Amino acid sequence: MITEGVVMAFLGSAIAIGLAGSGSGIGVGIAGMAGAGVMTEDPGKFGQVLLLQALPGTQGIYGLLAGFWVLMKIGIFAGSPVALTLDQGWQIFFACLPIGIVGFFSAIYQGKASAAAIGLIARRPEETGKAIVMPAMVETYAVLSLLATILLLNGIQL
Amino acid sequence: MLLKVNPNRMELLRLRKRLATAKRGHKLLKDKRDALIQEFISLVRENEKIREELEDKLREGYLIFASVSSLINPKSLEETIMFPKAKSAVEINFKNIMSVKVPNYLLKGEGNFYAYSLINTPPELDLSLKYFYELLPLMLKLAELDKATTLLAEEIEKTRRRVNALEYVLIPDLEETVKFITMKLDEVARSSISAIMRIKEIIRE
Amino acid sequence: MEFTETSNTETTYAYSVGRIRELENTLLNKVLLDKMIEAPDLVSSLNILRERGFESYGSEAYRLEDWENSLDQELLQTYKIIKDLSPYPFLYEVFALNYDFHNLKVLIKAKYRGKKYNTTTALVEIGTVKVKNLIMAIEEEKFVEIPVPFEVAVKKLMSEYNKFPDPEIIDLLLDKEKYIIILSLLKDKRAPFLEKFIRVDIDLNNILIAIRTKIRGEDKNFLRKALIEGGNLNLKNLTEILDSPLSSWNTRFAKTDYEKMVELGLKSYEEFHSLLEIERLMDNFRLDYVKIGKFITLGMEPLIGFIIAKEIDLKNIRLILRSKLDKLSPTKIKERIREAYV
């Protein structure tokens, strides 16, 4: 049965997937532009560039994971959603915010860091390892927010 | 060599006069030659001094200009100096050294020689152009000295030829002719004396 | 070096900056410059350049014209790249305008100089306007193919010159017009970094103009005519200091960014009677200002840094090769060399 609570849960799921996903899109886009620039001059750096470009993409995956988690929890895939109360719906909605918001911003900044790291690789190809560490640090906070979202979701009693 | 003259007393008198004039001329010319040589030597010394000075300064100037042209694209350099404002002309006067007309160059520059952009041109260019501009009078001075020495050398050569002509040709010739005429006249005198003595003898018998 | 409010936020530059990062590998670093300076002669100096992969600087360039030619080619190539890379045309135009005005000056000077003057050796194929359009505008006075600001500048110059035919006017007037056009290009473009750079450039030029005027012994009137508007320094103050002796000038620039540069430059002038040092310090100042381009990923700074760095690179190469030709000692060359960007 579709209740107001279910609608709130949907909204939460949509925010987790949508915000984190668009953040990743922007981030990957920025890194991709920088990477294309480097490869215009030296196509041989494709491997390293690809790795760095993919880094901001993880937030989107985390968002998708959180969104699916919500949908599974409320039993959408089982066919009949649990009749959530409005309170429960709000709980799920707020549980989705960490990965949505943090995912969005961290992905963009990770994209910028990646672009900078791609610049670093262009200048010093031998430092690829270090170049990957920098944008990867941003990943920590996306992972933490995913963790927070999952813990919050687990804490909700249906 | 004997001159072709009639050995008579008139001629002898004339030749003697010429000989005296030639000897006096010879002495004068010799004095002139010595004075010219003295003047020439001092000019050559000055020339040498100025040439060395100029060469040193030019070398320095080229070094400054080389440092300018190593800082600017040749195309920009061409643009910079392709339309000069300064016009320069040289005025020539003559002065007299021992009756030789020697030129005297005077630089008549007008307009500022700085006529180019003050941005995107090496500032050292200003100093380099000024340096060369200040060298111009010295260069003219050297040209003046060069010309003067050449003219003097020619004059010395001419005078020496004249002195030699007098000393080795005209004066010996005259002296020889005078001697010849004197001898001839003496002989004539002697033969007339002997003729008179013979006539005297004939009359006495 | 300073950050401005648009530093690192403009994602439109991501591609350009990526390419610039790779292109920065074609800039010369200090180690390489030092090696070239220490090389025993011209040929080995050139070989060092080539062995390190800088084939673009001519392969058989052992003669002066040859390497000048390859330096020209390199400059042309750089501007082509910048034109490709600029997301907004103004970025390229601001720098290319210098060459437009170079061409304009060549053509106008050739025109007024009289007699047929062969301009082909002096014209440069860089600029916002095609050279043949400029030729048409100047020689036939048909202004349809050149932008309006150019037309205004040229017409202004022509009427001024007809009134008072002095070759110096060509330079003084066009230099001013150039900066007017550049600054108007930058209006409302949200490019604070570039605008600041242009103002710094104007300041540096103005300082040098004042110093040169003083050394030439010209009067305030001349200085007023030569100074360029749009900089940060007050032009009135700049004219005023003409009365005081050069040795006191550095105090006049106290509390500005230029104090140290003026002090060192003038000290060198007093000591060696040469303006090479202050010019070098100014080039370094410009380079220092754009060096932030190395640290910014999303913005125009790296592009600007690359243009300036490349121009200074070419200057350094020319300086080293010329000095090698003149057999200058390595210490002398090191005194004159500009800093390296990378």
- Is residue B5 predicted with pLDDT exceeding 90? no
Strand residue runs (E) in C95-147: none
Of A41-45, A64-68, C250-254, C264-268, which gets the smallest average pLDDT? C250-254
B84 Cβ under 8 Å from any chain C Cβ: yes
Measured between its terminal Cα atoms, the distance across chain C in Å is 15
**CA–CA min distance B108, chain C (Å):** 19
Instruction: Collect all residues of chain C within an 8 Å Cβ-Cβ radius of residue A40.
Output: 18-19, 22
Contact C18 A42 (CB under 8 A): no
Among A49, A112, A124, A126, the strongest candidate for a mutation testing the C interface, having the largest count of C CBs within 10 A, is A112
Residue appearing with tokens 């004396």 = B193
Between chain B and chain C, the number of residue pairs with CB atoms below 8 A apart is 106
Sorted by where each begins, the domain ranges of chain C are: 11-88+189-336
Q: What is the pLDDT of residues A38-69, one digit of tens each?
A: 999 889 999 999 999 999 999 999 999 999 99
CA distance C167 to A93: 77
Mean pLDDT for all residues in chain C: 88
Q: Which residue on chain A is closest to C81 by alpha carbon? A: A41
pTM of the model: 0.85
User: Cβ(C301)–Cβ(C288) under 8 Å?
Assistant: no
Which residues lie closer than 8 Å to B14 by C-beta, 6 or more apart? none
Q: Which of C266, C282, C276 is nearest to C204 (CA)?
A: C282
B73 Cβ under 8 Å from any chain C Cβ: yes
pLDDT tier for residue B57 given thresholds of 50, 70 and 90:
very high
Q: Does domain B9-195 have CATH number 1.10.287.3240?
A: yes
Q: What is the pLDDT of residue B50?
A: 93
Contact B70 C68 (CB under 8 A): no
User: Cβ(A125)–Cβ(A45) under 8 Å?
Assistant: yes
Q: Which residue on chain C is closest to B68 by alpha carbon? A: C276
Instruction: Collect all residues of chain B within an 8 Å Cβ-Cβ radius of residue C323.
Output: 70
Phi, psi of B114, rounded to the nearest 5 degrees = -85, 105
- Is residue B64 predicted with pLDDT exceeding 80? yes
Q: Per-residue pLDDT averaged across A8-14, rounded? A: 93
Among C15, C29, C81, C85, the strongest candidate for a mutation testing the A interface, having the largest count of A CBs within 10 A, is C15
A25 Cβ under 8 Å from any chain C Cβ: no
Q: What is the pLDDT of residues C159-200, one digit of tens each?
A: 999 998 888 888 999 999 999 999 999 988 888 899 999 999
CA distance C270 to C263: 11
Q: What is the pLDDT of residue B202?
A: 93
Q: What is the pLDDT of residue A133?
A: 92
Q: How far is CA C125 from the centre of its chain?
A: 16
Instruction: Collect all residues of chain C within an 8 Å Cβ-Cβ radius of residue A33.
Output: 11, 14-15, 18
Contact C14 A122 (CB under 8 A): no
Q: Which of residues 1-20 of C touch B (CB under 8 A)?
A: none
Phi, psi of B71, rounded to the nearest 5 degrees = -110, -5
User: Cβ(C225)–Cβ(B117) under 8 Å?
Assistant: no
pLDDT tier for residue C254 given thresholds of 50, 70 and 90:
confident
CA distance B79 to C167: 12
| Percentage above 70 pLDDT, chain B | 100
Residue appearing with tokens 């109360």 = A85
CA distance A114 to C284: 31
Q: What is the pLDDT of residues C287-324, one digit of tens each?
A: 999 998 888 888 889 999 999 999 999 999 999 988 98
C279 Cβ under 8 Å from any chain B Cβ: yes
Touch of C by A (3+ CB pairs closer than 8 Å): yes
**CA–CA min distance B110, chain C (Å):** 13
Q: What is the pLDDT of residue C179?
A: 94
- Tokens representing C43? 């040929």
Helix (H), strand (E), coil (C) string for C167-213? HHHHHHHHHHHHHHHHHHHHCCCCCHHHHHHHHHHHHHHHHHHHHHH
Q: What is the pLDDT of residues A75-90, one digit of tens each?
A: 888 888 888 899 999 9
ipTM above 0.85, yes or no: yes
B87 Cβ under 8 Å from any chain C Cβ: no
Which of B75, B83, B119 has its CB closest to that of C109? B83
Backbone φ/ψ region at B111: left (φ over 0), alpha (ψ -120 to 50), beta: left
Which of C11, C14, C19 has its CB closest to that of A40? C19
CA distance C260 to C282: 11
A16 Cβ under 8 Å from any chain C Cβ: no
Phi, psi of B122, rounded to the nearest 5 degrees = -60, 130
Residue appearing with tokens 């140290």 = C260
Radius of gyration of chain A (CA): 18
Range of the domain at A32: 4-154
Provide the residue type at A147 as one letter. Answer: L
**CA–CA min distance A17, chain C (Å):** 23
According to DSSP, residue C154 is labeled: H
Among A105, A123, A127, A134, the strongest candidate for a mutation testing the C interface, having the largest count of C CBs within 10 A, is A123
Q: State which H helix or E strand residue B100 sits in.
A: strand B100-110
Instruction: Collect all residues of chain A within an 8 Å Cβ-Cβ radius of residue C8.
Output: 112
Give the Cβ contact number of residue B165 at 10 Å.
Answer: 14
CA angle B38, B44, B49 (to 5 degrees): 130
C31 Cβ under 8 Å from any chain A Cβ: no
CA distance B205 to C110: 119
Of C87-96, C248-257, C307-316, C327-336, which gets the smallest average pLDDT? C248-257
Q: Per-residue pLDDT averaged across C136-140, rounded? A: 87
pLDDT tier for residue C5 given thresholds of 50, 70 and 90:
low
Q: What is the pLDDT of residue B200?
A: 93
User: Cβ(A21)–Cβ(A60) under 8 Å?
Assistant: yes
Work out how many domains chain A is built from and give that number: 1
Q: Any long-range contacts for C113-119 (C-beta under 8 Å, 24+ apart)?
A: C113/B82, C113/B83, C113/C167, C117/B82
CA distance C79 to C93: 10
Residue appearing with tokens 């060096």 = C291
Contact C19 A41 (CB under 8 A): yes
CA distances from C269 to B126, C8, C189 (A): 13, 40, 40
Contact B119 C113 (CB under 8 A): no
Q: Which of residues 96-115 of B touch C (CB under 8 A)?
A: 112, 114-115
Which of C15, C20, C25 has its CB closest to that of A33? C15
Measured between its terminal Cα atoms, the distance across chain A in Å is 14
**CA–CA min distance A66, chain C (Å):** 29
C77 Cβ under 8 Å from any chain A Cβ: no
Q: How far is CA C80 from the centre of its chain?
A: 17
Q: Which of residues 281-310 of C touch B (CB under 8 A)?
A: none
Sequential DSSP letters for A30-84: HHHHHHHHHHHH-GGGHHHHHHHHHGGGHHHHHHHHHHHHHHHHTTSTTSS----
